[in-house]
Structure 1
Amino acid sequence: MKYDLLAQFNKAFESKARLSIMSVLVVNEFLSFNALKELLSLTDGNLATHLRALEESGYVAVQKQFIGRKPNTTFSATQAGQQAFTDHLNALEEFIRNI
């Protein structure tokens, strides 16, 4: 029974950093790279790596634009990402209730 509950966990969210990124993006329409970096206290490389993995999974959308002459990259949770994250949290809650 407990093994079946573990099977419901989404491997994309096993990392503390990815769990944090999705938690922040699900409750915000979008955030810039710098805002995410500051809020989560992650290095540029670490944040970029985790965002890329979430983007490749289809859970995060990236928008690049210029504000004046400065590049600005923002990130948002996709509909699929929001659903996958909700499912993951529900599985985690169910697991905790059945321990």
Structure 2
Amino acid sequence: MRLSKFDTKFSQLIESLKIRESKEIIPPKFINTILLNEMKGFVGLKTDSLEQTTAKLNAVTSNILYTNFESKVDLLEDISEEERTKYKKEVANSIETVVGQ
């Protein structure tokens, strides 16, 4: 359910950033490099610091939203394996269609 509200969250974030920019409250430029690397990891790209290469990972199942959900749902004893699989597929689909857009 939360994943379906991703567009709303980012719209609010963008509006907040515009307000900060209008008030000249902006981060230092070196922060951009750090944030860019974090965002690449979020969408499934991993930077190898030794080789300085970028390898494409499975963007859905390596996403922290998916891995966090997967670790929690795997601990649930009250649901069947079929239900776990169903929920994981739903989360993967939401990440791919809503978050990844």
- Scaled by the length of structure 1, the TM-score of the pair is 0.26
Structure having the higher strand fraction is 1
Return the structure number with greater relative CO, CA threshold 8 A, min gap 6. 1
- Scaled by the length of structure 2, the TM-score of the pair is 0.26
Higher CA-based Rg = 2
